[in-house]
Amino acid sequence: MLNKYARAFFTRVLTPFATFLIRRGVSPDTVTLVGTAGVVAGALVFFPRGEFFWGTVVITLFVFSDLVDGNMARQLGRSSRWGAFLDSTLDRVADGAVFGGFALWYAGQGDDNILCAVSIFCLASGQVVSYTKARGESIGLPVAVNGLVERAERLVISLVAAGFAGLHAFGVPGIDVLLPIALWIVAAGSLVTLVQRVVTVRRESAEAEAADNASHGTSHGSEAAS
């Protein structure tokens, strides 16, 4: 849902900024690299120290680079396999940094092994969810399912909760519970999404193999008749 509606909205909003960068001679790849570096720095500098509000602010400033670089590439007519590969690869790096930052907090000052494990599960499951689609597509399957919690949902749920939880440092009582709740939601949603994609790939592969067998059978029948 977020990929469909929010992405279209923010793409329109960020188009003037993308145009500005193009006029200044900035390349889409540069935006991708700088955006990822900013997200990684925000996550791994602030989150392990429990500074969730400021970490979320920094990450938010850079996370929209994922939309800006694509917008720039389209305006320049430079959409390429390399750009898509770089963007997708660095997305995984950024996601790993965000949930890795949460894990480091709970492994250290946060002192909660269960939430540390949940954070690590969110990190790993997010990578695997992305891999299932990429791998399914690489073997010629459409993988025609999005799933309950994709990358956009994982980031929005986690970062919004982290930002509000960070207000605890400013004296807002009880609000820090939002981050653990969000991590559990993301973990459960990622598991459901993983199952959805695996089931879809299993069904599509069976359908593709049945179609291939039917095609081969028809071909052999035609040869025999001739």
| Catalytic residue positions, numbered | 91
Known binder of ligand: residue 74?
Answer: yes
Known binder of ligand: residue 95?
Answer: no
Known binder of ligand: residue 111?
Answer: no
CB 144 within 8 A of CB 204: yes
Known binder of ligand: residue 87?
Answer: yes
CB 186 within 8 A of CB 162: no
Known binder of ligand: residue 69?
Answer: yes
Cβ density class 68-97: b for 16+ within 10 Å, e for less? bbbbbbeeeeeeeeebeebbeebbbebbbb
Known binder of ligand: residue 212?
Answer: no
Known binder of ligand: residue 29?
Answer: yes
Known binder of ligand: residue 200?
Answer: no
Query: Which residues sit in the known binding site for a CDP-1,2-diacyl-sn-glycerol?
Result: 29-32, 70, 74, 80
Query: Which residues sit in the known binding site?
Result: 29-32, 66, 69-70, 74, 80, 87, 91
Query: Which residues sit in the known binding site for Mg(2+)?
Result: 66, 69, 87, 91
